[in-house]
Chains A and B, each alone.
Chain A
Amino acid sequence: MTATEPSRTAAPEPAAGPARGDGEKGSAFVGLSRVMLLGFVRDKGTLFFTLALPLMFLLLFGVLYKGGGSTHVKVAEVGRVQVLDDARSQAQGALDALEITTGLSEADALAKVKKGDLDGLVMQKPDGTLVLRFSQADQVKAGTVQGIVNSVVQGANQAAANVAPKYSLDAAKVEDDSTKPIQYLTPGLLAYAIAMGAVYGASFTLVTWRKSRVLRRLRLAPISAGTVVGARVLVSVLVALAQTALFLAVAQIDYFGLKLTGDWWLVLPLVVCGTLAFMSIGLVTGSLAKTEESANGMNQLIILPMSFLGGAFIPLDFAPSWLQDVSRAMPLRYLIVPAKSVLSQGGGFAEALPAMGVLLAFTAVLSAVAWRFFNWDDA
């Protein structure tokens, strides 16, 4: 073991005295920010992992999942089906989720159900029996189509028996429209992208600057720790906002069709808080790791599980409850869930503010941990 010493200054000191020469006030902050920004744009690896790769994920998943996730069920009405027509004329709510096609022959309709173009077909036998054929390929839709048709038949039976329904169910979806994949893909992959950028930005700055002795050189310059940290925060936040702009621009093109709702701009303060939280993770790994390789390993070991468990790649709405509980421990979740809500589901301050609080508290705790392990040099 080499002897290390806990050499660190007590508190950020103010810059000393008036500078000589053609000094401009505050230029250390500008100079440091510029260095960090240049380090970012000149590193092809960083650009790829923080911008290109997450964007490729968005495009890929966006294309793959397009059309999926809709709760609309397509059904063919073969011949005339009295109950269905009656229900439709009475504008029963349950039928909203059915998209009914008419005019197909039984054979054609059956072929389409088998192929998956339709989710089911309904016809009425001369004796009044209602026939429903559906595909099990999509279990959710199979269940939906059975449930809806069943409720229509029961309603018709009660009406025929002249019995007023004793209980009625008024079911309606929370979302004004059915959830499209782009609505959860965008915040999920954006959060992943921001986590990559912020964690790596903070940890690699620490490790490379320590290794190349820049950190100890900075200690000998009359600048405060606050200036250095402030510049790093500024650059990481700029990168995160650029990622956000890029993701929202792509998600809103017609092909993907993301529609922003009301207070969508709340995603910006959420992104800032998320960036701070992820940077604090990078500060910890950058303080612990001596080399870029080990920092890289630690970062991946944290970001990947955090992204999966936090719901960056797959929505956790249908996950088992233990997984939901685990996800609540992931800072990423506190960016994804409220971002999804404010972006496209009409969420507002009530969704964003508590999550921002959690992210900032997380930042405070991890920054304190990082400070504990921080070292100016590795000797």
Chain B
Amino acid sequence: MSEAITADGIRKRYGDVQAVDGVSLSVATGEFYGLLGPNGAGKTTTLEILEGIREADEGRVEILGLSPWPRNPKLLPRMGVQFQASAFFNKLTARETIRTFASFYGIGSRAADAMLERVGLTESANVLTSKMSGGQAQRLSIACALVHDPELVFLDEPTTGLDPQARRNLWDLLRDINAEGRTVVLTTHYLDEAEVLCDRVSVMDHGRVLKTGAPAALVREIDDTVRVRIESGLLAPDRARELLTAAGAVYSNLEDDGVTLALSTAEPGPVLSVLAEQNALRGLEVRGATLEDVFLQLTGREYRA
């Protein structure tokens, strides 16, 4: 399969902040690709460099075989972009908004209205964008990114701020978009979202890509461990280490963030019996590995979006 995107060693600095610190990645045509990382990891900056609205300090980017910087009008009709925060004209309704965006690509109003229907906004077509709910605004944003039938779609945190039901509805839409053969690049700070949607993810932190792969493959690499959590304050971390070591339990990454005391282990049995002996089982949670554990293993920190 050919590559829709290749980026090589891109860097971007804002004053003292190295927002992107040598990111290389490649996205295959038709792939659903995720950039996963906590806030401030550099996802948006990376995406903006790929889209061609920000110039990288260093590095090389190729989108559909073309360079996105400086602004490349040959590329623009082939890609669709949704910003992290919506970009709507003021005082327009949903229908007027999508028809306007459609007009930029020479698309007529019938196709624009059909796209509005597709994202389930026909009922709200005459609502001013300023009066729409977060979920409606996100769907309109995505509709505006798709209205010209682009082969490559960039979505920056499309589900942030939505309630769980709205998120799930949007996931269905995104899966459909990808199923139609479009390449989709999405950023998210939700681990579950990346796990559910993406063919491959790059885990980002501090402007770097820590690891890239299919979510299942990343998890499988560490799937011999489970994560054990209890409420914080039941057992002091130092005391816990002492008792676990005394009982011969094998564990790693024990940390207490003031809410939860958590540790990883390949053999939960001895760990759980120590906790039970101490009557420290309140809020107990034992989970198999997830992307969260991948992040933990890569950074030594619990994942906090």
Contacts and interface: CB of A to CB of B under 8 A. Distances in A.
A and B interact physically = yes
Given A38-B91, A219-B53, A2 B99 contact: no
Contact of B15 (A2, A21, A213): A2
A20 B148 contact: yes
B272 interface: no
Interface stretch (A10-18, A106-114, A150-158, A261-269): A10-18
A90 interface: no
Interface residues of B, number: 40
A170 B137 CA distance: 77
A214 interface: yes
Contact of B103 (A16, A30, A39): A30
Given A22-B107, A23-B107, A38-B96, A17 B74 contact: yes
A219 B52 CA distance: 9
A303 interface: no
Contact of B76 (A2, A31, A216, A222): A222
A43 B51 CA distance: 33
A34 B91 CA distance: 12
B108 A23 contact: yes
Contacts of A7: 53-55
Given A35-B89, A213-B85, A22 B99 contact: no
Given A28-B106, A35-B92, A22 B111 contact: yes
B76 to A, nearest CB: 4
Interface in A23-39: 23-25, 27-28, 30-32, 34-35, 38-39
Contacts of B91: 38-39, 42-43
Interface string B30-68: 000000000000000000000111110000000000000
B70 interface: yes
A246 B227 CA distance: 75
B46 to A, nearest CB: 15
A286 to B, nearest CB: 14
Given A10-B70, A16-B73, A212-B87, A23 B105 contact: yes
Contact of A2 (B14, B74, B88, B108): B14
Nearest to A16: B73
Interface centre among B88, B90, B92 (most CB of A within 10 A): B90
B290 to A, nearest CB: 33
A190 to B, nearest CB: 27
A164 interface: no
B101 interface: yes
Interface centre among A39, A216, A376 (most CB of B within 10 A): A216
Contacts of A2: 14-15
A291 to B, nearest CB: 14
B149 A21 contact: yes
A5 B108 CA distance: 35
Contacts of B15: 1-3
A64 interface: no
A99 B13 CA distance: 82
B100 interface: yes
Contacts of B149: 20-21
Given A13-B71, A15-B73, A217 B106 contact: no
A296 interface: no
A9 B92 CA distance: 28
Contact of A39 (B73, B77, B89, B105): B89
A220 interface: yes
B54 A221 contact: no
Interface in A223-261: 223
Interface string B214-229: 0000000000000000
Contacts of A20: 77, 105-107, 148-149
Given A9-B71, A17-B77, A23-B107, A34 B14 contact: no
B83 interface: yes
A210 to B, nearest CB: 10
B261 interface: no
A7 B12 CA distance: 14
B111 to A, nearest CB: 5
Interface in B146-168: 148-149
Given A9-B71, A213-B85, A221 B110 contact: no
Interface in B99-152: 99-108, 110-111, 148-149
B105 A19 contact: yes
Contacts of A5: 54-55
20 contacts: A2-B15, A15-B106, A16-B76, A19-B105, A19-B107, A20-B106, A21-B107, A22-B111, A28-B103, A31-B100, A34-B96, A34-B100, A35-B92, A35-B100, A39-B92, A214-B87, A219-B53, A220-B51, A221-B101, A376-B53
Interface of B: 13-15, 51-55, 70-71, 73-74, 76-77, 79, 81, 83, 85-92, 96, 99-108, 110-111, 148-149
Given A19-B77, A22-B110, A212-B87, 15 more contacts: A1-B15, A2-B15, A3-B13, A16-B73, A19-B106, A23-B106, A31-B103, A34-B96, A35-B92, A38-B96, A39-B89, A218-B104, A219-B53, A221-B104, A222-B105
The 9 closest A-B pairs by CB, nearest first: A19-B106, A31-B103, A23-B106, A213-B87, A221-B104, A22-B108, A217-B87, A222-B76, A16-B73
